[in-house]
Structure 1
């Protein structure tokens, strides 16, 4: 497909099939298992490859993709929890425009080899500007799709996953000045983070990290980490999960040298997008919790993941056993059928939660109403 960066399409949302799967419908979502009082609906069923999510100042939801090569803008103009307009800002890029971030009126997109800016984007959804390169990134295909976020300090943050299953000298998080493109490495030893957010209470950066493959079904765990500034290396490739020395690169005492995860997640669950829940729509005990999208395993004899999980950060820091528990399940059926793969989560100003699904090409809307 040719690389068409400037074609924009605004249209009323309709369900549309993608080549790899059927479109999401309200009926499909009846399979989800939600806590009492929660409901799930389809925010948009026409977002092929939907992955990273970002929110604009005027309520526009921006969606990046990996294989589809598209960046979308979704608008819910009547506030009913369903997007009624879709704008195609970037189409068919071969460079995986996965990460999206909104900062000071501009949309930033992380491609495999660069981060680019689309200025004043919310006033130009029907006629998007050409992306302007801010900084070049080292290009590689394995783990080459980037997660991008705007930090509370006005900087951009991007994850650079290792171009391998396990290898040395790779795996970082960069802080980037959006004005001049200069970058600082703020974390090392991070195999592949595809989701991070900042604590509303402390301002510290928390991030998910995908564990290495080929150590068996149950090793190592994926990780939830916290960057405190005290130490900046999280162990890859020498130590996994805080206590598993790598058989090739590690040593018996390797794990003592690096920052362990705050919370060990499921093995091979592919923990991707995460957000602190800071809304008011969910019950009060959800506020301040971390919601994580687990994309699901591909290399395990029995599948795991395909769900949203909930982490109580205070309990995780204290090491209590109930810090990590299911929130929404059902994208993987009891018989092992996969019908959806959650990728990212985004808290709306209303307090509702959006969830992207690249398998179904959809974005879902999860809300809460007290049981009647």
Structure 2
């Protein structure tokens, strides 16, 4: 039996039992908002454990891990960046700091060479030597000011590549439209000189991307357009083989859904997805597992956070899946954690981070939690206690 107490739920009891393929975890909500002790379900793949690492983060978005183990979390609506510290390494946060507040949509963050980089609505700033200054961060320094600004916010995600450049995805400012460059693209920036290069075009909404540990190629998830029905268009998993490739938006969605509002230029060559996800699962986070704590079958495999549907007659997504890759092709999709109980979402996983401790961290922009996924072995029922993190 697991007992969870968070800032979001006054009482959250978890009853755990192992099954052949999945370990089903039942949670009993006991606060006044859920009168009658409504029970809900979180499903975790056999052998895995899921713990509450931190709570009350606002709408927790992209994460970054510092060299000393500090977990940084950006929050879009609150305009804050949190720094979470597990000083005794027991798998729970015991110190937290607000690095910045009042920023404009600071949900995209990355850590590199001791510094924290943050993409706001129209610029990228740098917090120098951040882990040494958690109590009193230095004033951020602007390193890039050419991000496009739109009244309808376009998505952002940032991460450092193997070449040392900062990669930035800039989503479309619309459901479907022909937007000017650099919208609907992925660019790479030299953070010392400010020089940038377009890496990919025709990308609608790539909130998550990562590089394969095997061949160092960039993979990214792209969310399809809305209002084409429950099952169209599929969401996408893409790989960049050729710099400057075009991935279809807004002319072609996934591999075969032609956009009726815009005609593809005659000579435009479109790169098709490596894999298609069900429509509206909303893949917002993507990470290759680089640790050794999970079993071998998970090593170097691609994990995807499906944030979940919002305009579909029945809900899909709200889970973390593993895409099994063989010979650089996706051959299967397996659920590792499901936060959807029927039509009730317990969480909306947004970003994933494969950490040096072997665990995988999951941000939840529904309840403002960060979960820690770890492997505990093929054990039967066991008792764990997850308490509220201050």
Return the index of the structure with the highest Cα Rg. Answer: 2
- Give the structure-1-normalised TM-score: 0.89
* 8 Å CA contact retained: 1:23, 1:46: no
Is the CA contact (8 Å cut-off) linking 1:24 and 1:360 kept in structure 2?
no
Alignment of 1:219-368 (within 5 A): 219-229=232-242, 232-250=245-263, 257-314=269-326, 317=329, 320=331, 323-329=332-338, 331-334=339-342, 336-368=343-375
d(CA) in 2 for partners of 1:151, 1:26: 41
Residue 89 (structure 2) aligns with: 79
Aligned to 1:9: none
Find 1:178's aligned residue among 191, 194, 211: 191
Contact 1:239 1:255 in 2 (8 A): no
Query: Could you tell me how far 1:362 is from its partner in structure 2?
Result: 0.7
| 8 A contact 1:311–1:325 mirrored in 2 | yes
Does the aligned pair in 2 maintain the 1:33–1:328 contact within 8 Å? yes
2:37 alignment partner in structure 1: none
Structure 2 unpaired stretches of 5+: 16-24, 27-40, 380-390
Given the alignment, which residue of 197, 210, 213 partners 1:200?
213
- Alignment of structure 1 residues 34-53 onto 2, 5 Å: 34-53=44-63
Deviations 1:109-143 (A, max 9, x none): 01011100000000000001111111111111434
Q: 1:275 to 1:191 in 2, by over 3 A?
A: same
Q: Give the secondary-structure state (helix, strand or coil) at the position aligned to 1:355.
A: strand
Residue aligned with 1:83, SS: coil
Question: Who is 2:163 aligned against?
Answer: 153
Q: Which runs of 4+ in 1 moved over 6 A?
A: 253-256
Moved more, 107-116 or 44-53: 44-53
C-alpha change, 1:242 and 1:178, in structure 2 (3 Å) is same
CA distance in 2, matches of 1:338, 1:40: 16
Structure (1/2) with the larger strand percentage = 2
Other structure's SS at 1:260 match: coil
Cα distance, 1:130–1:230 mapped onto 2, change above 3 Å: closer
- Give me the TM-score of the superposition, normalised by structure 2: 0.85
CA distance in 1, matches of 2:299, 2:270: 30
Question: Structure 1's 186 and 105: CA in aligned 2 closer, same or farther, altered over 3 A?
Answer: same
**In 2: Cα distance, 1:24 partner to 1:196 partner:** 35
Does 2:178 match 1:168? yes
Counterparts of 1:8-23 in structure 2 under 5 Å? 15-17=6-8, 22=9
Instruction: Give the 3-state SS of the residue equivalent to 1:67 in structure 2.
Output: coil
TM-fit CA distance, 1:313? 2.6
How far apart are 1:24 and its partner, in Å? 9.2
- 1:37: how far off? 1.1
